[in-house]
Amino acid sequence: MASRRLGSPAGRWIDRSQPLGFTFNGRRLSGLRGDTLASALLANDVRLVGRSFKLHRPRGVWSCGLEEPSALVDVDEGARRTPNVRASRLVLEEGLSVRSVNCWPGVAFDLGALTGACAALLPAGFYYKTFMWPSWRLFEPSIRRMAGLGRAPTEPDPDHYEEVAAECDVLVVGGGISGLAAAAAAARAGARTMLLTGAAHPGGALAWRADDEAQGLARAVRQLGVRVLMRTLAFGLYNHNLVAACESLAAEGGELPASVLRERLWKIRARRVIAAAGAFERPLLFPDNDRPGVMLAGAAVKYAGAYGVACGRRAVIAANSDSAYAAARELAQSGLEIVAVIDRRSEAPKGETASGLRVVPGAVVTAVAGTRAVQGCRVARLGGGPRSGQGEWLECDLILSAGGLAPAVHLHSQAGGKLRWVSESAMFVPDGAAPGLVSVGACAGVFSRDAALAHATAVGEALAKGAAAPTAPVGGAGRSEPITCVPGRTSAQFVDLQNDVSAQDVALAARENYRSVEHLKRYTTAGMGTDQGKTSNINALVLMGELTSRAPAEVGTTRFRPPFAPVTLGAIAGRRVASLYRPLRELPAHAWHASHGALFETFGDWRRPAAYPLPGESLEAAAQREAACVRHHAGLFDGSPLGKLELFGADAARFLDLMYVGTMSTLAIGQARYGLLLNEHGTIVDDGIVARLGDRHYWVNTTTAGAERTLAAFEEWLQCEFTDLRVLVTPVTSRWGNVTVAGPSAWRWLEASGFEAALAPHSMRHMTLRESALEGVPLRVLRASFTGELGYEINLPADHASALFARLWERAAEVGAVLYGIEALQLMRLEKGYLHVGSDTDGTTLPGDVGFARGIEAKAANFVGRRSLSRPASRDPQRLQLVGLKPVDGRTALHVGAHIASHAPPAAIEGRVTSSGLSPELACPIALALLAGGTQRTGERVQVYHLGVMTEAVVVRTPFVDPQGRRVHG
């Protein structure tokens, strides 16, 4: 047994009295309370954890933190399955069930591993070069099956998530001693301070050590009132210091209730941010450096100290930094045998060679034996022209990589900060502060403890007081050389373990003349995995520098973008799922419609009755029945969502003349007129009816979808251009319900229901508005019609809408009336050829294209968009113009969106169908279409192409029904 649990008292975070059972690929194993999945697997001597993304190479635990590239698992099954969870971050729970990713039939025997044998055939850019002919799409499905990691669940997520907004003066990201010191100082100086840490324990790198100062600082931070959020990982810094962080609230896997609040997304607006995110360890590259049993040196130290787990018995340490020696000493104390430190540098630190530790300076690991677990390695001195097979053989089951340190500069970069290269330690550090953000501690490149504490304290205080932050005393990381791979070897030396990018891939990219590190990244996919290259970015760019004879500072880093670590889609969606996915509006009489058989559908923002089907009746049949009944008797419709505005002011009339095609200033009080609203391009953006309520007072009906748009346009023109006009625009859409009664029997119905005689069609003409009342409830009754029938739009305070529906419905049988929904309304307006803005118009449609050319010429006043209508392009007789279409056979439906063309594609497109339906009145399909030069083509036969079928249609004039327009008058 190689990796194993150490004896007591090793393992500060584990509770040896609380064993926990879990399953790994169906195998029952046991861990301890306080373990992560990674530590528990290592304690059970499980070295092989998963298979790699592209080559299916066996992989094990590589790190002890969120940088983990290899040990990814799918947690749980069914709806709660979470793919690609890092074993090093997954807290062990009783009953936890996990599976390895990207292997079939199993992790030990994986058929996909055959690709690993062909690794040389799968270099960077392989897919782009190879699978182009005849079409990438031919190869994509099988490649997608082979490549990839975990499996996403297919069922809806049973858990829920929330989002919280917060603000503070100083936000500290990171709970290590530097972060704690900065937070304490900021709070002491009076700033509202928050501190976020992704860890479950404060103290950062020292959290698992008995460090009195770290514990003391953690206590002080709480006593000073700092708002501390544990298990809350800041994953992004966005414009103007908005920090997004994800708080884990529930365990992953194990026994859970039916639905839990699983994560909380924090959106924190901070005046100043202090980054205290620490540093990552940089691995060394050598042949087969991805074998299970090769891992980061610091990780092995932490597994021993925090979890009481020895990652192996006999360890070789591959070093390029002074930190290797501290790791060697600590691991030796934990009971591991340190075979040797293989130091790439020509000189080991003074004194280390005298400690009894075997140190081989100026040497590298040249080969690793063992596929599913390390069995030994070969080491050779550099400079002696190492070739495969030469050098000394060392038997070991663990190879630790200590290549130096890489400050976590992610937040600094996201804030727009610059980096500088520190050559002696081969690392990038923040070059001063970023806008709104200052780095402290290891992520600032400050590795000596006392200097870090003093600097962090000074920064916390300075930012709290609005002063400039002191410069970071960068140093203390020790020596590390900016070199990476072992020269002259053919076996893969992995730069990015997660995406299977090797030094050879980077070399290929260099040979193909990729110079920019951003291009290198995309071509090789280095750093594009879920770990975002935490342990690979620096090596990749150092290597790129070596290959192109540039210093790392010249090569530069790729841009660090959020998220810093993977975030679940659930956390980002928060409450915005299912019925809260987006705000939907409810009709005032929603419940009444529901109790009268309405079939609700979503139209724009509104839930509205599409129709009122009888038992067993389809939506289409219901719409036909309802429309026919309105044409011959009467119908009742809820038009409440129609946009409504009241305009008040001395210049209201002038302003409406400017806004609409259609002169509104000449309306008499009580009169109403149709208007088209244009933008400055002359394009139709809305239509509606404007009625005059008083000398300086107008009522404007917009379309339902155009209510917000029209209000915004009015306000923009009033506030930004026509600033001398005195007009107040008040939206009143929700104040007024709209109960619409239409059909030849509409008035008889209203009269029987108690409406005053003054509303009768002979005394109240079409397109007039009258203020009335019914039993004390004020009404604004508009004679208008979108059905082509005698119509009354009865506007009344919305709380009374249900009562009016009920009152009218009581007498519906007397006139043979029905309730009708949107579908029937659309059929009737189509029969009348009435325009539906947004369906029959697009972003290029001008009034002349839909039959309003004469209205424009007749109007004396200027209006918005008018100048655009006189451009040559606006007067082109071949513009798309709205026409009617009927199938020549009188049977075949013409589909909305179908193209009009002389023959099947490829063909020049002459137009398209914009509205379509089966006319209840004519009992045949009818359609509206935008057709090039359409108004001159009446009677012409055209071909309508839809999904491979051509249908012959004839261009006709609209309206299809009641061409003289007599019926609206009753």
Q: What CA–CA distance (Å, rounded) separates 535 from 236?
A: 19
Element (H, E) at 602: strand 599-603
Q: Is 756 a binder of another protein (CB under 8 A)?
A: no
Q: Is the dihedral of CA 522, 523, 526, 528 positive or negative?
A: positive
**Rg value, the chain, Cα:** 37
| Cα–Cα distance for residue pair 164/643, rounded to 1 Å | 33
Please report whether residue 586 would count as binding another protein according to CB under 8 A.
yes
3-class secondary structure, 855: helix
Pick the closest to residue 437 from 461, 409, 415 (CA basis): 415
774 forms part of the interface with another protein (CB under 8 A): yes
> How far is residue 33 from each of residues 9, 21, 86, measured CA to CA in Å?
15, 10, 18
505 vs 511: CA distance, rounded Å = 10
Please give the size of the binding site for another protein, defined by CB under 8 A: 70
Q: State yes or no: residue 876 binds another protein (CB under 8 A).
A: no
Binding mask 599-618 for another protein (x = CB under 8 A): -------x------------
Nearer to another protein, 712 or 757 (CB): 712
The answer to whether residue 889 forms part of the interface with another protein (CB under 8 A) is no
Q: Give CB contacts under 8 A, 24+ apart, made by 548-551.
A: 548/510, 548/515, 551/421, 551/482
How many other CB atoms are there within 10 angstroms of residue 900's CB atom?
25
Binding range to another protein, per CB under 8 A, among 631-639, 732-740, 817-825, 931-939: 732-740
21 binds another protein (CB under 8 A): no
Judged by CB under 8 A, does residue 803 bind another protein?
Answer: yes
Q: From 309-317, 643-651, 783-791, 947-955, give the range in contact with another protein by CB under 8 A.
A: 643-651
The answer to whether 240 contacts another protein (rule: CB under 8 A) is yes
Q: Verify binding: residue 583, another protein, rule CB under 8 A.
A: yes
160 forms part of the interface with another protein (CB under 8 A): yes
Strand-strand pairing, 924-932 and 791-797: unpaired
Candidates 152, 165, 669, 907: give the one binding another protein (CB under 8 A).
165
Among 734, 902, 936, 938, binds another protein (CB under 8 A): 734
**Contact between 721 and another protein per CB under 8 A:** yes
Of these, 155, 212, 775, 857, which contacts another protein (CB under 8 A)? 775
Instruction: Give the nearer residue to another protein in terms of CB position, either 96 or 652.
Output: 652
> Distance between CA 524 and CA 732 in Å, rounded?
58
The reply to whether 145 sits near another protein by the rule CB under 8 A is: no
Residue 866, interface with another protein (CB under 8 A)?
Answer: yes
CA dist 911 and 75 (Å) reads 53
Q: Does 771 bind another protein (CB under 8 A)?
A: no
Question: Of 190, 225, 416, 965, which lies in the binding site for another protein, with binding defined by CB under 8 A?
Answer: 416
Tell me: does residue 579 bind another protein (CB under 8 A).
Answer: yes
- How far is 872 from 870, CA to CA, in rounded Å? 6
Q: Using alpha carbons, select from 970, 685, 958, 724 the residue that is nearest to residue 830.
A: 958
Q: Which member of 45, 94, 162, 842 binds another protein (CB under 8 A)?
A: 162
Closer of 506 and 690 to another protein (Cβ): 690
Q: Are 375 and 369 in contact (CB under 8 A)?
A: yes
Q: Counting contacts by CB under 8 A, is residue 732 touching another protein?
A: yes
DSSP 949-967: EEEEEEEE-S-SS-TT--G
- Among 167, 392, 481, 842, interactor with another protein by CB under 8 A: 167
Q: How many CB atoms lie within 10 A of CB 861?
A: 11
Nearest-approach distance from CB 679 to another protein, in angstroms: 10
Q: How far is the CB of 416 from another protein (least distance, A)?
A: 7
Q: Does 8 bind another protein (CB under 8 A)?
A: no
Whichever of 14 and 869 has its CB closer to another protein, that residue is 869
Asked if 231 touches another protein (CB under 8 A), the answer is: no
Whether 53 and 127 have beta carbons less than 8 Å apart is answered as no
The reply to whether 871 sits near another protein by the rule CB under 8 A is: yes
Contact between 572 and another protein by CB under 8 A: the answer reads: no
Residue with Cβ nearer another protein (527 or 662): 662
Shortest reach from residue 627's CB to another protein, in Å: 26
Give the Cα separation of 162 and 570 in Å (integer).
Answer: 9
**Whose Cβ is closer to another protein: residue 12's or residue 811's?**
811
Single residue of 1, 120, 720, 813 touching another protein by CB under 8 A: 720
Of residues 509 through 538, those in contact with another protein by CB under 8 A are none
The interface region with another protein, picked from 201-209, 309-317, 364-372, 795-803 by CB under 8 A, is 795-803
Let me know if 212 is exposed, middle or buried by CB neighbors in 10 A (0-12, 13-18, 19+): exposed
Give the nearer residue to another protein in terms of CB position, either 26 or 257.
257
For another protein, the binding residues in 679-698 under the rule CB under 8 A are 680-681, 696-697
Residue closer to another protein by CB (options 57, 262) is 262
* 17 binds another protein, rule: CB under 8 A: no
Block residue for tokens 């968009």: 865
Cα distance between residue 849 and residue 953, in whole Å: 20
Residue from 108, 143, 584, 614 that binds another protein (CB under 8 A)? 584
For 17, the 3-state DSSP assignment is strand
Stretch that binds another protein, among 41-49, 61-69, 120-128, 571-579 (CB under 8 A): 571-579
Q: Residue 330 burial (CB < 10 Å; 0-12/13-18/19+)?
A: middle
Build a one-symbol-per-residue string for 252-291: x at contacts with another protein by CB under 8 A, - elsewhere.
---------x-------x----------------------
Q: CB under 8 A: which stretch of 21-29, 321-329, 578-586, 842-850 binds another protein?
A: 578-586
Give the separation between CA 57 and CA 50, rounded to whole angstroms.
8
CA 941 to chain centre: 48
Among positions 238, 387, 450, 666, the unique one binding another protein when judged by CB under 8 A: 238
Q: Which is nearer to another protein, 618 or 730 (CB)?
A: 730
Question: Interaction with another protein in 197-216: which residues (CB under 8 A)?
Answer: none
Closest distance between another protein and the C-beta of residue 192, in Å?
A: 12
Window 647 to 666, contacts with another protein (CB under 8 A): 648-650
| β-bridge mates for residue 913, sequence order | 929
For residue 621, give every residue at least 6 positions away whose Cβ sits within 8 Å of its Cβ, in sequence order, or none. Answer: 613
Among 7, 190, 797, 905, binds another protein (CB under 8 A): 797
What SS3 class is residue 319? strand
Helices (H), 225-322: 297-307
SS3 of 334-391: the string is: HCCEEEEEEECCCCCCCCHHHHCCCEEECEEEEEEECCCCCCEEEEEECCCCCCCCCC
Q: Which stretch binds another protein (CB under 8 A): 135-143, 329-337, 406-414, 729-737?
A: 729-737
Q: Which is nearer to another protein, 721 or 814 (CB)?
A: 721
User: Any residues with CB less than 8 A from the CB of 579 and at least 6 apart, and which?
Assistant: none
Query: Which residues fall within 8 angstroms of residue 916, CB to CB, at 6 or more apart?
Result: 830, 893, 894, 895, 896, 925, 926, 927, 928
CB closer to another protein, 143 vs 732: 732
Using CB under 8 A as the criterion, which residues of the chain lie in contact with another protein when the complex forms?
160, 162-167, 238-240, 242, 261, 269, 416, 435, 575-576, 579-580, 582-588, 606, 641, 646, 648-650, 680-681, 696-697, 712, 715-716, 719-721, 723, 726, 728, 730, 732-737, 774-775, 777, 797-800, 802-804, 806-807, 862, 866-868, 871-872
